[in-house]
Amino acid sequence: MTQFFQQVINGLSIGSVYALMAVGYSLVYSIMNFSNFAHGGVIMLGAYFGFFSLTLLHLPFLAAFLLASIGTTILAIVVERIAYKPLRERKAPFLYFIISAMGASILLENIVIATIGPTFRTYPEVFARTPISIGPLAIGRLDLLMFVISAVCLTALILFIEKTKMGKAIQAAAYNIKACALMGINTDKVILIVFGLGGFLAGVAGVFFGMKYTVYPQIGNITTKSFIAAVFGGLGSLPGAVLGSVILGILETFVAGYLSSQYRDLIAFVILIGVLIIRPSGIMGKNTEDKA
């Protein structure tokens, strides 16, 4: 039983980081109806920004965190301006967005390989590795922090979307972006904010990911799993993305803990196919029948 709860704790902590990434995919999907595969590249660069602000600039942890997030916010917006805005203006079909996103992802990954190098880098130790123990259970300090900060960020995001005027505009744009523009909402600005928000959370997630594992140019491939979590929860739905991420995180740690860690990645893709067959709109997604 102890092992069971231990796995749940581990799953929650990784699931919360998945949620930070998945929300970025979902936000963009809800407004623009395409899967932004460049998001993985933005997360990867977030991990690098954090790494260099800690090692080269010797910034305190929180400042490094902030710097990384601001960096990815700007980066996500730049990607949008260069790779998607011309397509938006031409009203290109979703496929062109996806290919453009793939191009951006290849570009970001290889810029890093060319300038920083393909080597794996380990974050300096910011927190002691000794876990905090609650009875028989052990929680890593980093895991706890990951969970808390992710929860704070996600709550702030949901409050922003529910309570502010801009949040309302985002909701409206997700419902119908054309009607939104007719009602006098500056949809270009809405899209900018959405990419900025996704980028900011990508930075937070990237730093955590780098701290938990290592930093390397192909992190983007792992973030595909958070995309799966977003599909699982229902693309375009924020609570869905969070729920899907937590469930995926817990399932993964269970598979790794009870079966074999080799099947950990496989389970994510099996879930993906399963969800698409049984309920393509995911747990909480809006009905996608007849979008065409």
- The answer to whether 53 and 64 are in contact (CB under 8 A) is yes
Q: Which of 7, 26, 105, 237 binds other proteins (CB under 8 A)?
A: 105
Which amino acid type is present at position 7?
A: Q
Tell whether residue 262 is a contact of other proteins (CB under 8 A): yes
Binding of other proteins at residue 291 (CB under 8 A)? yes
Per CB under 8 A, which of residues 110..129 are in contact with other proteins?
110-111, 113-114
Q: Please, what is the minimum distance in Å from the beta carbon of residue 104 to other proteins?
A: 6
Judged by CB under 8 A, which stretch of 3-11, 99-107, 128-136, 173-181 contacts other proteins?
99-107
Binding to other proteins, residues 196-235 (CB under 8 A): 221, 224, 228, 231, 235
Environment class of residue 92 by beta-carbon count within 10 Å: exposed (0-12), middle (13-18) or buried (19+)?
A: middle
Residue with tokens 């595969």: 37
Identify which of 191, 217, 194, 193 has the alpha carbon closest to the alpha carbon of residue 206. Answer: 217
Q: Which alpha helices (H) appear in 176-291, and where do they start and end? A: 177-182, 187-212, 219-233, 238-254, 264-278
Residue where the block lists tokens 């990607």? 79
Task: With contacts defined by CB under 8 A, name the span among 28-36, 145-153, 156-164, 238-246 that binds other proteins.
Answer: 28-36
Residue (5 or 269) nearer to other proteins, CB: 269
- Tokens 């876990």 belong to which residue? 131
Regarding 266 and contact with other proteins (CB under 8 A), the answer is yes
Residue 136: exposure state from Cβ atoms within 10 A (0-12, 13-18, ≥19): exposed
Closer CB to other proteins, 25 or 209, in the complex: 25
Query: Strand (E) positions, the chain?
Result: 132-134, 137-139
Nearer to other proteins, 155 or 260 (CB): 260
**Residue in 8, 59, 70, 99 binding other proteins, rule: CB under 8 A:** 99
91 binds other proteins (CB under 8 A): no
Nearer CB in complex with other proteins: 152/266: 266
Token pair for residue 264?
């950990």
Is residue 34 a contact residue for other proteins (CB under 8 A)?
Answer: yes
Question: Is-contact 208 146, C-beta < 8 A?
Answer: yes
- Residue ranges that bind other proteins, judged by CB under 8 A: 33-35, 82-83, 86-87, 90, 92, 94-96, 98-100, 102-111, 113-114, 221, 224, 228, 231, 235, 262-263, 265-266, 269-270, 272-273, 276-277, 280, 288-292
